[in-house]
Amino acid sequence: MSNSQTFNPAKTNRAHLGRKRALLHVVIFSTLIVSWETGSRIGLLDPLFYPSPSSILNSAWTIYVANATIWYHLYATLGLVFLGFLAGSIFGTGLGAIVGFNSVVRRFLKPYVIVLEATPRIAVAPLLIAALGFGSASKIAIIMLVCFFAPFINTLSGVVNVNEDKLELFKSLRASKLQILKKLVLPEAIPVMMAGERLALTAALSGALVAEFIQRDKGLGSMILIYTRNLNMASAFACIFTLTVIGFLIFRGMEWLDHRIAFWKNEAGLARVSTKRARKMEGF
């Protein structure tokens, strides 16, 4: 055969399947959008309460481009989330580690942790606003509170639940406590800690929104509330979809970070680091 390309029927079949499936996704999505739009136009869905896709797009254009009102609020919310998350998760991780290393403290702290876990922490929002007043301080305090818990519990768990066999190995090699900490406890705890941080970031976003719902001054949460009150549902939905995008970016971003930091838990990471280390140690 003079043709340089090899013909693989299995491969082309799979490619066809992939394309067929993608097409079906698109068809389903478009059908939903079209029926939604039509329902709105013919009055089946009251456009006052259930905005049509076209009106949502229209509002999106207005708030993003024409009047560009949303950017200020977007940055306001994101700024809060970032600051609150950083503060809350660092505090949670640090405290989790400290409590993890101290079994006495851990025993006495247990009932309070159970009570704290049962309480919807976000419920403290009005209290904090009343105590600290309106403004960014109380908002950040709320965010810190909601995103403290997951890193705390996860770091605590990671530090406490060290693999027994590995611990015995280190002891048989006469490792010092510091070495055990640095070379065993920390790497072992990293995957669980990352999981905690991911939960915290998600909670931080929700916390920011609740704070803004109550304070109603600025930020995406306030915007959604105000638009809804004015029955400008289209703009409200535009903001909600903005949050979907943000949420998706956060999800993907954290997943990427997770795969890089806890590289040994996924195949791609293993391959990548393996080649990296092989290259570093030439001449073996």
Partner 1 sequence: MSVVSSEAAREQSRVPIGVKFFQLAPHFALFVFLLIIWEVAVATDLIKSIMIPAPSAIVASIIELYFTKGTIYYHFGITFAEAVLGFTIGAAIAVILAVSSALSEPFKRYIAPYAILLNVTPGIALTPVIIAWFGYGMGSKIALAAVLCFFPIYVNTLTGLIQRDEDREDLFRSLGAADILIFTKLRLPSALPMFFAGLKIGLTTALIGAVVAEFSQATDGVGVLMNRFSFQLNMASSIATLLSMTLIGLILFYTMEFLDDRIVFWRREARRASVSWAKRRAYKRRVK
Partner 2 sequence: MDKSIVSDDVVVRANGLGKSFGEGAVIALEKASFDIKRGSFVSLVGPSGCGKSTLLRLISGLIEKSSGSVQVHGDEVQAPRPEVAMMFQKATLLDWRTSLENVLLPTELNGNVTREDEQKAADLLRLVGLKDFLFSFPSQLSGGMQQRVALARLLQTGADVLLLDEPFGALDEFTRDRLNVELMRIVGEVGATTLFVTHNITEAIYLADQVFVMTPRPGRIAEIINVDFERPRPLSIQTTPEFNKLVAHVRDVLGEDH
Kindly list the residues in this chain that would bind partner 2 in the complex (CB under 8 A): 165-166, 168-175, 179, 183-184, 187, 263-264, 270, 273-275, 277-278, 281, 284
Helix and strand numbers, DSSP H then E, in the chain: 13, 0
By C-alpha distance, which of 40, 56, 14, 97 is closest to 239?
56
Shortest distance, position 174 Cβ to partner 2, whole Å:
5
CB of 237 to partner 1, least distance (A): 7
Residue 275 contacts which entry, partner 1, partner 2, none (Cβ below 5-8 A, type-dependent) = partner 2
Residues in the chain: 284
The C-alpha atoms of residue 193 and residue 153 are separated, in whole angstroms, by 9
CB 198 to partner 2: min, Å: 19
- Angle 70-101/220-229 helices, nearest 10 degrees? 130
Return the number of other C-beta atoms located less than 10 Å from residue 277's C-beta.
Answer: 9
**d(Cα 38, Cα 135) in Å, to the nearest integer?**
43
Instruction: List the single partner that 166 binds among partner 2, partner 1, none, CB under 5 to 8 Å by kind.
Output: partner 2
221 binds, among partner 1, partner 2, none (CB under 5 to 8 A by kind): partner 1
Measured between alpha carbons, how far is 252 from 175 in angstroms, rounded to an integer?
38
Give residues in contact with partner 1 (CB under 8 A).
Answer: 21, 24-25, 28, 49, 108, 110-111, 113-115, 117-120, 122-127, 129-132, 153, 156-157, 202, 205-206, 209-210, 213-214, 220-221, 224-225, 227-229, 231, 233, 236-237, 239-240, 243-244, 247-248, 250-251
**Residue 244 contact among partner 2, partner 1, none, beta carbon within 5 to 8 Å by kind:** partner 1
Q: Which residue has the tokens 């072992």?
A: 188
Kindly state the smallest distance separating residue 162's Cβ from partner 2, in Å: 12
Residue 284 touches which of partner 2, partner 1, none (Cβ within 5-8 Å per kind): partner 2
Closer CB to partner 1, 85 or 170, in the complex: 85
Task: Let me know: does 96 contact 151? Beta carbons within 8 Å.
Answer: yes
The span from the CA of 77 to the CA of 204, in Å, is 10
